[in-house]
Chains A and B, each alone.
Chain A
Amino acid sequence: MESKIKDDTFLDEICAIPGGEGIRLCIQCGTCTASCPNAEKMEHTPSQLIAMARAGMREEVLSSNAMWYCLSCYLCTVRCPRGIKQTGLMHAFECLAVREGLSYAGSFTPTMYRSFNHFACALGSLPEFGFMTWFYILSNPLRAWRMMPIAWSMFRKGRLSIRARRLTPQATAQLRAILDKADALGGVS
């Protein structure tokens, strides 16, 4: 049987992300898991995910659905006795999973985030109606049907704008130039 030598490249990769270096401080006390409103729905709890990352289990971590259930409520982050920014780690795992094309994980959250980001980058603002419609087309158009009562109740109260807020052409071009440059720089680290 081939014995696997522990690979630290994944850990190094995480530590190079601003805020990611805290992962080395984890003592596996489980406070993050006990604080997480969604831990029971995750394939791996937040503390398991950290242990797996430290063990170099890159693919298992990045294909887990755990980070896609993170609500960014930051309860783990404010409670961690070692000062680890777990919510930031979850975001880092998400970005790495997206880059590797491992982002489906049985959850619709990656598709929703992608739709959001697509509009936010292209327009510089988020047209809620357009974004939701696009998300339902990409995920499961049948789910859009179930959304009709919600959409109607918002429309009736004047809360559903079809029109998007537009930036001036100069501002849109400026944002585009900045994001293109960021893309060319290729990542945070």
Chain B
Amino acid sequence: MKHYTYFPGCSASEGGAKAYNWSTLAVSKMLDVDLAELEDWNCCGSTPSGAMDELGAYCMAARDLALAEKKGLDMVTPCSACYVIFNRTNTYLNGYPRFKARVNEALAAGSLEYRGTLKVRHMLDVLTNDVGYNAIKSKVQKSLSGLKVAPYYGCQVVRPNFGFDHPENPQSLDKLVATLGAEPVSFPLKARCCGGSLIISEEDLALDLIHKILESAASNGAECLVSVCPLCQTNLDVYQSRVNKKYKTKYNLPVLFFTQLMGIAFGIDDKTLGLNTNVVSPSGVLDHIYNPISNMTAH
């Protein structure tokens, strides 16, 4: 059994990406990964807080880091934005002692101190590197053979480089998809931006980026995409209809959290994985797995 402090982040815990949390917990359990949720964690601040008030934003993140440091385990998060914020905070606090002293002065008002020793990891890193492809392969029960998957990394899981995969041409998710028995398609835009939170404030601009990503996946034969970030998944899935309307396209590409795809291969039921929460329904591409009988009669 491997033990971690778990930081689900706002989107996956109570927001629009609950299926990411559910599927992460379900596959972790099967892989003997113990995720102990950090008690009373607060929002990491994400990009917006860091653009309003730098010190306040670093202090928000540092409160979580200080609480998690006491647990003595690596902290893992499924959210790419939380992952970047915590690692960036670590980099700056440890690189600038005067700044660290200032943040600790603020933390002291809440009777906390952060020494700077906590390691924050992404779920993709933990599952592919700590658990490993062999252990994942040994849990595969359902064949995903023939399913063409576009492995979408987005930005913040690999950039700026916190070290577990290449910042522009990452491979870990490709290998994971292949380990599950599916086929990772060539996908040139796999680490390009989905528009992030600018989908809210500058929708046209973000739709353009989402359109390019969907086009890149579809033109390479993908039947679905997998994502490692709540915001990427939301942009590509929920806003797909908007892209179709704006660009007169007919994309119907389900966007799964990578832990959902793992859970499907592990034989976990669709409800536990929250597959009913995907806006573009994955039932078409997964029908042969969940409804083998109706599928046979249909042919």
Contacts and interface: CB of A to CB of B under 8 A. Distances in A.
Contacts, number: 218
B45 A120 contact: yes
Contacts of B46: 116, 120, 126
5 A-B pairs with least C-beta separation: A74-B159, A181-B109, A124-B42, A171-B40, A116-B48
Interface residues of A, number: 73
Contacts of A114: 48, 52
Q: Which of B102, B103, B111 has the most CB of A within 10 A?
A: B102
A157 B14 contact: no
Contacts of A128: 10-11, 15-16
B239 to A, nearest CB: 7
Interface stretch (B115-123, B259-267, B273-281): B273-281
A119 B239 CA distance: 24
28 contacts: A18-B95, A71-B155, A71-B209, A75-B168, A77-B160, A91-B47, A91-B51, A109-B198, A113-B51, A116-B46, A116-B197, A120-B42, A121-B49, A121-B56, A126-B10, A150-B238, A153-B241, A157-B277, A157-B278, A157-B279, A159-B18, A159-B277, A165-B13, A167-B40, A168-B40, A174-B112, A178-B109, A178-B110
A117 B42 CA distance: 12
A74 B160 CA distance: 6
A37 B193 contact: yes
Interface stretch (B28-36, B199-207, B219-227): B199-207
Nearest to A136: B200
Interface in B105-144: 105-112
Contacts of A111: 201
A107 B160 contact: no
A18 B279 contact: no
B175 interface: no
B192 A37 contact: yes
Interface stretch (B57-65, B180-188, B285-293): B57-65
Nearest to A165: B14
B279 A187 contact: no
The main secondary structure of chain A at its interface with chain B is: helix
A18 B161 contact: no
A102 B71 CA distance: 42
Contacts of B96: 18
A126 B43 contact: yes
A170 B279 CA distance: 37
A108 B197 CA distance: 11
Q: How large is the interface on B (under 10, 10 to 19, 20 to 34, 35 or more residues)?
A: 35 or more
B52 to A, nearest CB: 4
Contacts of B17: 159
Contact of A71 (B55, B111, B193, B238): B193
A163 B156 CA distance: 28
Nearest to B62: A178
Nearest to A109: B201
A75 B102 CA distance: 30
Contact of A94 (B51, B103, B198, B239): B51
B270 interface: no
Interface string B53-81: 11111111001000000000000000000
Contacts of B105: 181, 185
A132 B209 CA distance: 21
A87 B55 CA distance: 16
B51 A95 contact: yes
A183 B60 CA distance: 12
Given A37-B192, A78-B168, A108-B202, A95 B54 contact: yes
A19 interface: yes
